[in-house]
Amino acid sequence: MFEVLLAEQMRHIESAAVAEGQSIEHLMETAGEVIAQEVLRLFKSCSVIVLAGPGNNGGDGFVVARKLEEKGWPVIVACSKTIPSKEGAAFKARSQWKGTLIDYQDIHFKDFALIIDGLFGIGLSKHIDDPYKTVVQKANQSGIPILAIDIPSGIHSDSGEELGYAIKAHYTIALQTLKPCHLLLPGKIHSGTTIVKDIGLRPFPTPTLFVNAPELWKKHYHKPNLTDNKYTRGHGVIVGGAHLTGAARLSMLAARRVGAGLITLLCPPEAQIIYSLASLGHLTQTYEDVSIFSEKLNSITNLKGVLIGPGSPPTQDTRTLVHKILKLKMPTVLDAGALTAFAENPDELLRELHENVVLTPHEGEFKRLFSISGNKIQRTSEAAKTAQCTILLKGADTVIATAYGPVIIESQGVPWLATGGTGDILSGLILGLLVQGLKPLEAAAMANWILNQCAHSIGVGLLAEDIPLQIPKLLASI
């Protein structure tokens, strides 16, 4: 249930089912049945218009229409007169529809209380034009609830991009698995509430895309036990700048709350007082000059990971510190200023990254380091391969990718996380989990999940400072 499948992978499992003796007609009948069941669950009996398109998504629409009519619902189907061609499952589904059939242009949307969108599914590959464009526009403007079959029509299944015009659904019933478009913007918004319904296909044998969920990483996270002490829980260093000290202080709180045994703030001497007073249970160390930074870092007992970037200025000194940290080859989080410091010459950073590093750029920071085009999954994956590390590309549709393959997409997306300091909390959480022994991918995914869950429970009005106190009850729930 955590796999997210590309259109090609969906076709693969469909073909495998056919090779095992199932027919497309049977799969379509199942799809129509599960969607009709969801309509019955979500809505009271009402007049329905089904928009049926030229392919199998349209075929599903005809089956849903038949199932709802059998339950006594008033249903009309709208489709193009010329299609589908006189073969295949979609044609069969259409010929089994004995109710009213009209052309798109003859729809009076005000006569209906529910629109079922079966125009296009995973087969849409190019921008939609008329008659589909106009019917999509009118459906969106009607204000009537829309339930999309599999994906909202007009959205590209693999990228979530809008191909000209796209249905804005209230509900989307995803068949068998989620597709990237249910998670990536703008498809995520167009999907409304997405519900996944099994249609009896076997899982894809080698999935590479996953939706973020505790099942992906919780076996790597160990709650403290009686034999633990602060050293076995891991010691992390956060490099704090002389100014903008709030950022590293937020990271420190998050790293400690998520369970790091010890956190030391390593900072220039003039800022030590600020960091010392930030809370009571962390340590501070100073480095007078970048030339003695490595010495100071090496003197820290049982050091298990380093975070640099929150509040760091994008300067030569920051670049020097990053180089010194990367030489240690230890678990490292690079965020904010530690990324922007390399904007002029990204290669200087990229060639030194290694498998224990997590980068946490937002789109702007990402573009300063990588000139990669494509959808968010492609860009994050390619960047992770180029940099040979883990990359968490932030946003309402955060994507986390590794150099070795798996990609995790966040499903939650909490709007009120878009406020100052939440990124510092995230990088602190990742550090806190890395020093406890989680691998970069798992640490990044778990941290992002915690951040979103906390934000969700805090609600509108969230401040970054509110998040750390939410962490204990969340850890207890894992």
Ligand X SMILES: NC(=O)C1=CN([C@@H]2O[C@H](COP(=O)(O)OP(=O)(O)OC[C@H]3O[C@@H](n4cnc5c(N)ncnc54)[C@H](O)[C@@H]3O)[C@@H](O)[C@H]2O)[C@@H](O)CC1
**Using CA atoms, how far apart are residues 155 and 144, in angstroms rounded to an integer?**
19
Q: Which residues, 19 to 58, sit near K ion by CB under 5 A?
A: 57
Instruction: Give the closest residue to 334 by CA, choosing from 287, 301, 300, 368.
Output: 368
Max Cα–Cα distance, the chain, nearest Å = 83
For ligand X, the closer of residues 155 and 238 by Cβ is 155
- Is 395 assigned to a binding site? yes
Is residue 117 a contact point for ligand X (CB under 6 A)? no
The sign of the torsion formed by the CA atoms of 92, 93, 96, 99 equals negative
247 is in an annotated binding site: yes
- Residue 320, Cβ neighbours under 10 Å: how many? 15
The HSE-up count of residue 440 (CA atoms within 13 Å, CB side) is: 31
Binding mask 14-43 for ligand X (x = CB under 6 A): x------------xx--x------------
The minimum distance between CB 227 and ligand X, in angstroms, equals 50
Q: Backbone phi, then psi, for 81, in 5-degree steps?
A: -70, -30
Is 445 among the residues that bind ligand X (CB under 6 A)?
no
Element (H, E) at 196: strand 193-197
Q: Is 477 one of the annotated binding-site residues? A: no
Under the binding rule (CB under 6 A), the answer on residue 123 touching ligand X is yes
Measured CA to CA, the distance from residue 346 to residue 333 in angstroms comes to 16
Residue corresponding to tokens 């999935």:
207
Give the residues across from 408 on adjacent strands. Answer: 210, 400
Nearest to K ion by Cβ — which residue? 153
Half-sphere exposure of 63 (CA within 13 A, CB side): 26
Provide the H-helix boundaries in 43-161. Answer: 56-70, 88-95, 132-142
- Residue 89 annotated as part of some ligand binding site: no
Q: Look at residue 27 and give the partner it binds from ligand X, K ion, none, a contact being a CB closer than 5 to 8 Å depending on partner kind.
A: ligand X
For residue 204, give the DSSP letter. P
Listed in order, strand segments (DSSP E) in 365-405 are 390-393, 399-401
Q: Per-residue contact track with K ion, 83 to 122, x per CB under 5 A?
A: ----------------------------------x-----
Q: Does residue 211 belong to the site contacting ligand X (CB under 6 A)?
A: no
Least distance from C-beta 126 to ligand X, angstroms?
Answer: 4
Q: Quick one: 58 or 241, whose CB is closer to ligand X?
A: 58
Q: Say which entry of ligand X, K ion, none residue 148 contacts (CB below 5 to 8 A, set by partner kind).
A: K ion
The alpha carbon of residue 394 and the mean position of all alpha carbons in its chain are separated, in whole angstroms, by 9
Match 């034999």 to its residue by tokens: 227
- In whole angstroms, the minimum distance from the beta carbon of 118 to K ion comes to 6
Shortest separation between residue 29's beta carbon and ligand X, angstroms: 9
Does 122 bind ligand X (CB under 6 A)? Our answer is: yes
Q: Could you say which residues in the range 116-155 bind K ion, by CB under 5 A?
A: 117, 148-149, 153
Per partner kind, with CB cut-offs from 5 to 8 A, the member of ligand X, K ion, none near residue 117 is K ion
Residue 117 near residue 152, CB atoms below 8 Å: yes
Alpha helices in 158-202 (DSSP H): 187-191
- Contacting ligand X (CB under 6 A), which of 4, 5, 10, 359? 10
* Per-residue binder mask for K ion (CB under 5 A), 225-264, x = binder: ----------------------------------------
**Which of the residues 173 through 202 are near ligand X (CB under 6 A)?**
175, 199, 201
Cβ 447 vs Cβ 258: under 8 Å: yes
Residues tagged in the binding site annotation: 56-60, 117, 121-127, 132, 150, 153, 247, 311, 362, 394-398, 423-424
- Binding footprint of K ion on the chain (CB under 5 A): 57, 117, 148-149, 153
Residues tagged in the binding site annotation for K(+): 57, 117, 153
